[in-house]
Chain A
Amino acid sequence: MRYLRLFIPALLLVVMSSSCEKDPEIGTTTFTLAVHPKIASQDLVLGQEYLDQESYRLMPSTLRFYVSHVTLTSANGDTEIRDIALLDMEQVEAGEPLTFEVEVPAGDYTGISFWVGLDSLQNASDPATFVNGHPLSLSTGTFWTWNTGYRFVMLEGYYDDVQNTPGPVSTSRFFNYHTGTAPLYKQAELGAANVAFTIAEGERFTYNLDLDVNKMFYGLENIDRAQGAVTHTTSNYALAQKFTENFVRAFSLSAP
């Protein structure tokens, strides 16, 4: 078991580094999953203030989450991507999407699925065994040092608890949603965002999804930030669970 725990991260590292070096194989093409963070129809920019759908002012400062086991479904068999991605708004220019680029076979696909977070093996990785820049390394700031595992989703920022304030947002009220642990490893609920697509040989294809911060708070269950602004998962598990259920339902197909 101890060897397995070391072997899996090492294998992941090899897979990830080798996938960057290889030329595309014959019959494959470049597939990009592009996630566009939004608040309703507005592009989300970290450090910028918004009124949410209930007119409460907020200013997100961090949005970072893992995507794993991306699978393209097809009548000829599924294509599961073994690489994982840490989609981090601090790593892209304002207004740019968060992208995960991989090589996949060209062809007709009936849909897509992916998980938010890391599976149990990935989550048991030792971050010190990965080089800086790797999604599982210590440089990402996602590893919980007091507990085993990684934060799957990190959303942080500031908020006002009174509607329609003129701004600037109060920096004395912060929200901090850090979710992780095996029970909160969830598949994204894409619903109508899961559509068929065709990837022509030799062409690049981008699957565009919006990720709406509004839906993280007003989703399956509403989250009142004034009543529950902070969770490190185990510190307020019910809140972490609620946030996770909303988060995995916050994706929608981008407008063409």
Chain B
Amino acid sequence: MIKGKVIFGSILFLVLFSTSCKPVEDDLLDRPYNLVLPAGFPTMSIPADNQLTEVRIELGKMLFFDKALSRDSSVSCGSCHLQSHAFSDVVNISSGIEGRKGMRNSPPLFNLGYHPYFFFDGGVPTLELQVLAPVQDVNEMDHEFPFAVQRLAQNPAYQKMAQIAYKRDFDAFVLTRAIGAFERTLVSGNSTYDKYNNGNSSALNESAKRGLALFTSERLSCSGCHSGFNFTDYSFQNNGLYLQYPDSGRMRVTTLPEDRDKFKVPSLRNIALTAPYMHDGSIATLPEVVEHYNNGGAANPNKDPRIKPLTLTSQEKSDLLEFLYSLTDNDFITNPDYAP
């Protein structure tokens, strides 16, 4: 599969740069892309106007790593979404152009095709629309989208790939669809836990197995929100991080007081790779996160009642961490298909 993509990419590169004086033959290269999903994963719904093809994905990947998206060409999507960290960042708040800082932690990117909405407040309903936000955000790329499109459209390779993939000139539609297509291929489901879950009973050590039992226990209720194959129910919850939040979270979108200080429950897949933690990156390490839940959090009025002191023993904390470490998918972070 990987070898095939490398060969395909090489052929595509040669063709694009050897046919610059010839008219583009629209049907020459593009082929449907078969997204292989891990065992146990449900079917992924893919928009009718953005079915996966090889050129769409390749174009999306090139755009994902292209700094020309930002106003001063200093940052790309890949600047704050590092493959080695499951496409998250290593700092609490990533730097946009000119070192500008927003207010939220850069989320990891995987299994995005299953998300019903995006961002910590869930304000954006599709992967394609999500592309607009970081480009225009003054603290990220600070680029008026039409100007970003205009700049990228000057790239002959992008124009050719747009014609092949979407049968149209490079425009906002192509830019949002192509990045959406690439991001939809970022699928992670081959962790040690997955191997265990798929029948290899020796994949998890005894400590991790005890941690799994704790994780799913009624006493801890972790799996109440971090549920399902993606370890999230995509709900909005307050976990008692603060008594008073500077960021109102979901309420920013709904204006409802009951949504104040609530944030989308993140997936726990690859959690060992995505420090720092929480919506604002305020907790540096995974043991500190476990300690936060063990203490029961601050008495925020919207805190979920399941967040309460747990009185975990040292052994239990260690077991829980061992289970969380088993959610790391090393194949995902080394997959050359996702690299620039």
A: residues with CB less than 8 A from B are: 2-3, 6, 126-129, 131-132, 137-139, 141, 143, 145-148, 181, 233-235, 237
Contacts and interface: CB of A to CB of B under 8 A. Distances in A.
Nearest to A181: B255
A146 B249 CA distance: 12
Interface in B254-301: 254-255
B169 to A, nearest CB: 10
Contact of A145 (B49, B137, B171, B175): B137
Contacts of B48: 2-3, 6
25 contacts: A2-B48, A126-B129, A127-B172, A128-B128, A128-B171, A128-B173, A128-B175, A129-B173, A131-B171, A138-B132, A138-B146, A138-B149, A145-B133, A145-B135, A145-B145, A146-B119, A146-B121, A146-B133, A147-B124, A147-B253, A148-B124, A181-B255, A234-B253, A234-B254, A234-B255
A237 B255 contact: yes
A88 to B, nearest CB: 15
A234 B254 CA distance: 7
Contact of A148 (B129, B173, B251): B129
A200 B209 CA distance: 83
A132 B172 CA distance: 9
Given A234-B255, A237-B255, A146 B173 contact: no
A139 B147 CA distance: 9
Interface string B130-160: 0011011100000011100100000000000
B340 interface: no
Task: Give the 8 A-B residue pairs with the shortest CB-CB distance, closest first.
Answer: A145-B132, A128-B172, A147-B123, A145-B133, A128-B176, A237-B255, A138-B145, A145-B136
B137 A2 contact: no
Contacts of B145: 138, 145
B38 interface: no
Contacts of A235: 252
Interface of B: 47-49, 119, 121, 123-126, 128-129, 132-133, 135-137, 144-146, 149, 171-173, 175-177, 251-255
Contacts of B176: 126, 128
Contacts of B128: 126, 128
A146 B175 contact: no
Contacts of B171: 128, 131
Specify the main secondary structure of chain B where it touches its partner: helix
A146 B123 contact: yes
Contacts of A138: 132, 145-146, 149, 172
Given A128-B172, A145-B136, A146-B123, 9 more contacts: A3-B48, A6-B49, A138-B146, A138-B149, A147-B123, A233-B255, A234-B251, A235-B252, A237-B255
B124 A132 contact: no
Given A2-B48, A138-B146, A141-B144, A146 B124 contact: yes
A100 to B, nearest CB: 23
Contacts of B135: 145
A235 B254 CA distance: 10
B252 A234 contact: yes
B50 to A, nearest CB: 10
Nearest to A148: B125
A126 B146 contact: no
B146 A148 contact: no
Contacts of B251: 234
A132 B170 CA distance: 13
A147 B132 CA distance: 10
A139 B253 contact: no
A44 to B, nearest CB: 25
A234 B248 CA distance: 10
A234 B259 CA distance: 12
A141 B145 CA distance: 9
Contacts of A3: 48
A137 B146 CA distance: 9
Contacts of B47: 2
A3 B48 CA distance: 8
Contacts of A128: 128-129, 132, 171-173, 175-177
Nearest to A124: B125
Contacts of A131: 171
A98 B328 CA distance: 58
A254 B116 CA distance: 48
Q: Which of B48, B137, B177, B253 has the most CB of A within 10 A?
A: B253
A128 to B, nearest CB: 4
B172 to A, nearest CB: 4
A143 B133 CA distance: 10
A132 B133 CA distance: 18
Contacts of B172: 127-128, 137-138
Contacts of B252: 147, 234-235
A209 to B, nearest CB: 30
A235 B123 CA distance: 14
A194 to B, nearest CB: 32
A153 B106 CA distance: 31
A178 to B, nearest CB: 14
